[in-house]
């Protein structure tokens, strides 16, 4: 059977089917952060983080075109990633909700590049903006990693639309 024949009989994948299948890929959870033009810390919860390249060290995140602070990320020379611990589910929820200052009451520090980083994170990754692509309804932001810092602990896991924990072996 030709690939053309297969294509012609495939029904379009619905949004629900797409989400269901992608949700079967377990991820960690991170807070992507940036300073806006006024120097105010901004950030949101992301699970779209992935490493891209070792030489040079590159990572990416995908931000929806409707994300409130998308322009801040597009303008920024640096952005930060704070990888969350399993205890930090509340932080993940906080940074995914609108209508409040997400950094208020949260312990954070400035990285060497100036980006805001969450003090409780399992790891920090500071990135210099490297490339940006628009793909469908998201921007793909590729960052060159300029600094990392890791701590001990267990990660917050996101799977099938829910938070989860790594099970001990």
Ligand X SMILES: Cc1cc2nc3c(=O)[nH]c(=O)nc-3n(C[C@H](O)[C@H](O)[C@H](O)COP(=O)(O)O)c2cc1C
CA atoms of 45 and 83, how far apart (whole Å): 10
The answer to whether 155 touches 26, Cβ cutoff 8 Å, is no
CB of 69 to ligand X, least distance (A): 6
* Shortest distance in whole angstroms from residue 89 CB to ligand X: 9
What totals of helices (H) and strands (E) does the chain contain, helices first?
4, 12
Comparison of 90 and 112: residue with beta carbon closer to ligand X:
90
Nearer to ligand X, 63 or 118 (CB): 63
| Options 11-19, 46-54, 110-118, 121-129: segment touching ligand X (CB under 6 A) | 46-54
Residues in region 47-66 near ligand X by CB under 6 A: 47-48, 62-64, 66
Pick between residue 112 and residue 160 the one whose CB is nearest to ligand X.
160
- Positive or negative CA dihedral for 37, 38, 43, 49? positive
Measured between alpha carbons, how far is 68 from 64 in angstroms, rounded to an integer? 9
Among positions 6-45, residues that touch ligand X (CB under 6 A) are 29, 44-45
Alpha helices (H) along 44-161:
70-75, 89-94
Residue written as token pair 């998308």: 70
DSSP 8-state class, residue 47: S
Whole-number minimum distance, CB 139 to ligand X, in Å? Answer: 9
Binding letters toward ligand X, positions 110-139, x by CB under 6 A: ------------------------------
Of 67-106, binders to ligand X (CB under 6 A) are: 67-69, 92, 96, 98
108 - beta bridge partners?
A: 118
Give the shortest CB-66-to-ligand X separation in angstroms: 6
User: Residue 28 and residue 42: Cα distance in Å, rounded?
Assistant: 20
Residues at the site binding ligand X, with contacts judged by CB under 6 A: 29, 44-48, 62-64, 66-69, 92, 96, 98, 158
């Amino acid at each position: 059977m030709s690939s053309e024949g297969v294509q012609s009989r495939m029904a379009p994948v619905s949004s629900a089917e797409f989400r269901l299948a992608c949700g079967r890929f377990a991820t960690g959870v991170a807070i992507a952060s940036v300073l806006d033009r006024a120097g105010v810390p901004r950030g949101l919860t992301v699970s779209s983080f992935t490493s891209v390249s070792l030489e040079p060290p590159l990572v990416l995140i995908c931000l929806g075109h409707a994300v409130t602070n998308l322009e801040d990320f597009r303008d920024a020379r640096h952005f930060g990633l704070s990888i969350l611990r399993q205890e930090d589910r509340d932080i993940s929820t906080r940074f995914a909700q609108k209508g409040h200052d997400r950094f208020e009451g949260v312990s954070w520090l400035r990285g060497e590049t100036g980006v805001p980083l969450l003090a409780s994170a399992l790891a920090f990754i500071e990135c210099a903006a490297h490339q940006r692509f628009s793909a469908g309804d998201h921007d793909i932001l590729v960052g060159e990693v300029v600094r990392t810092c890791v701590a001990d602990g267990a990660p917050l896991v996101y799977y099938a639309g829910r938070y989860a924990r790594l099970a001990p072996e």
